[in-house]
Chain A
Amino acid sequence: MTTQSIAAANPAAQAHATPRYISPARRFYWSLLREFWEHRSLYIVPWTVAGLYLVGFLIGAFRLIAKIPGHGNLAVDHQLVVTQFSNAALALMAATSIVAVVYSLSALHSDRRDRSILFWKSMPVSDIATVLSKASIPIVFIPLITFVVTVVTQWILLLVGSAVLALSGFSVSILWSHFFLFHMWIMILYHLLAVHALWYAPVFGYLLLVSAWARRGAFLWAAVPPTAIVIVEKVAFNTHYFSDFLAYRFHAGPEGGLSPNMLFMDPLSHLTPLQFLSSTGLWYGLALTAVFLTGAVLLRRYRSAI
């Protein structure tokens, strides 16, 4: 077929239709969805960890029932059941933290490696929207997913744990009293938002920047600069400010690390959001996050695509 025959088939050139309006929020929504399509580990890993934990808990519970008749130590066994709740939460946080790190390092890297960036860049989605949607995954959505999966897991633990205690002839009241789970959920949500989202944000910003910059070996490149600074500082000045700085950041700053016992505390008397929000470390961290993400946008935008 030749162009001449097409001309005959389409004598009147049709005008281009007016485009639909697509709001930035809608583009952002589809960019997010695209991340979940590509990175299925974002939801598969937490649910798998939850499933494994429940299986382990069930096996342990049946062993408990088997050995209880007559000579169980009531207090210890109660403690055992209750500790399962905080351990489940900690296991999920640990797993999703790893997912967040792996995700951040590949987010702006994998599509350059497989050249699909040429497809994504042919779509009318700005690089700012792309980078922000990718940054929101570790900073906003992984903490929220962690919270939801934790709540569901703990509900199942509560039901199964009550059944086990009841079958063993113990009182289940401890599990259903003092708003014990409700308090724990507030503590977990606060910890996830304050520490995993806000306090660790610059860590994810840094990883995203490396992921936008590195041509290959993003994981290695992410480790090189901090390690180099620590070593050079130690050798040159025999000081360790930078490693202290990193340690402070990773030990969750003013909030401190999360210990299993903390989860059982009454949130109203132990949470200090005002103190957290007024800590300079938080705001320096967020400013640094903004710098890192700006760098990632600029690299994505102004560097040759591949």
Chain B
Amino acid sequence: MNSIEARGLRKSYGATIALDGVDLSIPEGRIVGLIGLNGAGKTTALHAMLGLTPYEGDLRVLGLDPWTQRDLLTRDVCFIADVAVLPRWIRVSQAVDYVAGVHPRFDRSKAERFLARTVIQPHSRVGQLSKGMVAQLHLALVMAIDARLLILDEPTLGLDILYRKQFYDSLLTDYFDYTRTILVTTHQVEEIQNILTDVLFIHQGRIVFNRPMDDLESSCFEVSVAPAQLAAARAFHPIHERESLGRRILLYDRAAFDNDRRQLASLGDVHTPSLADLFLAVIGNQAYPPPSQPTQPDAQPHPAQGVAQ
């Protein structure tokens, strides 16, 4: 069963269109990154899935309608927004007591084990903790809940690199077990690149790219070429070009053309692009059309498999 299934999901705030017909299917047991610029619709999409905001279109989360069946959904879905949402007045021990008191899937001993690994004191109030510690506390509470879907909205925003790394490490080692689904949005694309099983790019309220990470490695590649080989390399329809250290780096999305890859290898060094470069390539083409150049008509995104409309 798919954890999340959306068809034509739309949402507008007055004249501003936040979601413009989102279609997506997220199967169970995946770790999906939803990546987009500020205002691309990430948080709106997550809030729609959590039943926090009304929407148009079809949306099923764990088989439930999040808007009308929110009360049922909250038993199986956990949510961490950026670090500021734990109330400042609550004590660590009170937060644990409260979740233990109201949540049927909360395992108190687990939460206490996670907290014991940190320097957080049970008697402290959230307002006295550092941002990193609040994130650890929230993560400890959420990881002790045996939920089927975890939604993370910029969970590490404002944390230093040590806490960010710890955050994702604990998520993987102590939480993810292939029966849960994790949907995460973040700006720090590089840091989640290695933990994702799937990646979605959202731009102006639409999913513009949707691919399992495994496919990404085989279908997307970058070739850095010397100026002399540029014209030859452009003939293979790169989706994006950039300049680096005096060489052009051309990015291709050509799953179907193994042959092209071999030929391009003769023109320059072939390597797998980072998720950030790929994101900039895909979004950059949409946000800012490529600068005018002789081969521009050929520089359109290739209609490869997996690219959502």
Contact = CB atoms under 8 A, between A and B. Distances in A.
Contact of A30 (B31, B70, B98, B148): B98
Interface in B80-116: 81, 84-91, 94, 97-99, 101-105
B169 A1 contact: yes
Contacts of B86: 116, 119
Contact of B101 (A6, A10, A30): A30
Most buried by B among A21, A33, A37, A123: A123
B73 to A, nearest CB: 9
Q: How large is the interface on B (under 10, 10 to 19, 20 to 34, 35 or more residues)?
A: 35 or more
B103 A124 contact: yes
Nearest to B44: A304
Given A16-B179, A19-B104, A115-B84, A121 B90 contact: no
Contacts of B89: 37-38
B19 to A, nearest CB: 13
Contact of B87 (A3, A22, A38, A122): A38
A9 B177 CA distance: 9
A13 interface: yes
Contacts, number: 120
Interface in A124-149: 124-126
B74 interface: yes
B52 A1 contact: no
B187 interface: no
A117 to B, nearest CB: 8
Interface residues of A, number: 41
B71 interface: yes
A17 B146 contact: yes
Contact of A119 (B87, B194, B197): B87
A123 B74 contact: yes
Q: Is the interface of A mostly helix, strand, loop or mixed?
A: loop
A204 B50 CA distance: 30
Contact of A31 (B53, B90, B102): B102
B273 interface: no
B105 A29 contact: no
B85 A119 contact: yes
A124 B194 contact: no
Contact of A1 (B71, B105, B194): B194
Contacts of A7: 178
Contacts of A15: 179
A33 B98 contact: yes
B29 interface: yes
A115 to B, nearest CB: 5
Contact of B195 (A1, A31, A124): A1
Q: Which of A1, A118, A125 has most B Cβ within 10 Å? A: A118
Contacts of B29: 13
B173 to A, nearest CB: 7
Nearest to B193: A2
A38 B176 CA distance: 33
Given A14-B177, A16-B179, A111-B87, A2 B194 contact: yes
B53 A16 contact: no
A10 B54 CA distance: 37
A178 B23 CA distance: 79
A67 interface: no
A30 B176 CA distance: 29
A27 interface: yes
B101 A37 contact: no
A216 interface: no
B196 interface: yes
A270 interface: no
Given A15-B179, A19-B104, A29-B101, 6 more contacts: A9-B173, A13-B29, A26-B102, A116-B85, A124-B71, A124-B102
List of 6 A-B pairs having minimum Cβ-Cβ separation, nearest first: A30-B101, A19-B104, A116-B87, A122-B79, A124-B74, A13-B179
